[in-house]
Amino acid sequence: MTGLVRFTVSIEEELLAAFDALIRDQGYQNRSEAIRDAIRGRLIEQEWEAGDEVAGVITLLYDHHRPGVAETLTEIQHRALAYVIASTHVHLDHSNCLECIAVRGEARTIEELAHRLKSLKGVKHGALTATSTGKKLS
């Protein structure tokens, strides 16, 4: 972590009051934290657009009764070992499973892996959550 600095924002009084009400609702304890979160959110979007090394989570909802789906998911993840860090399997009910796969790598590679997993037969829904390795965010 690097040293802390300060900067001043000039803003219309009413606009600031509306912002204060908004962030209080979302649980923020002060404006600086909310502003830093907004800034980090923008920088993460930029990391993904630029194709940088990123981190993310691939979320899959699937029916483990569908023949072959669990095996194929495991096999693809093992072949993508360089990008897949860990994966958690949650049993939602008798048939439905939720799998969260933590991944790290170049943005385009991660996006391709997510597409491949989402398009598998038996996978009902898939989503790629974009976050960061955090290296440039402090």
Q: Which of 67, 74, 85, 108 binds its own copies (CB under 8 A)?
A: 85
Q: Does residue 82 bind its own copies (CB under 8 A)?
A: no
Residue from 120, 113, 106 nearest 51 by CA? 106
Mutual angle of helices 107-118 and 31-50, in 10-degree steps: 80
Edge-first strand order for the sheet with 96-106 is 84-91, 96-106, 53-63, 123-131
- Per-residue DSSP letter, 118: H
Minimum gap (Å) between residue 21 Cβ and its own copies = 9
Q: Does residue 13 bind its own copies (CB under 8 A)?
A: yes
Minimum gap (Å) between residue 80 Cβ and its own copies = 13
Nearer to its own copies, 31 or 79 (CB): 31
Minimum gap (Å) between residue 38 Cβ and its own copies = 5
Nearer to its own copies, 26 or 78 (CB): 26
Q: Which of 51, 67, 79, 90 binds its own copies (CB under 8 A)?
A: 90
Q: Does residue 19 bind its own copies (CB under 8 A)?
A: yes
Q: Write out the two tokens for 97.
A: 């499973």
- Pair 133, 85: CB distance under 8 Å: no
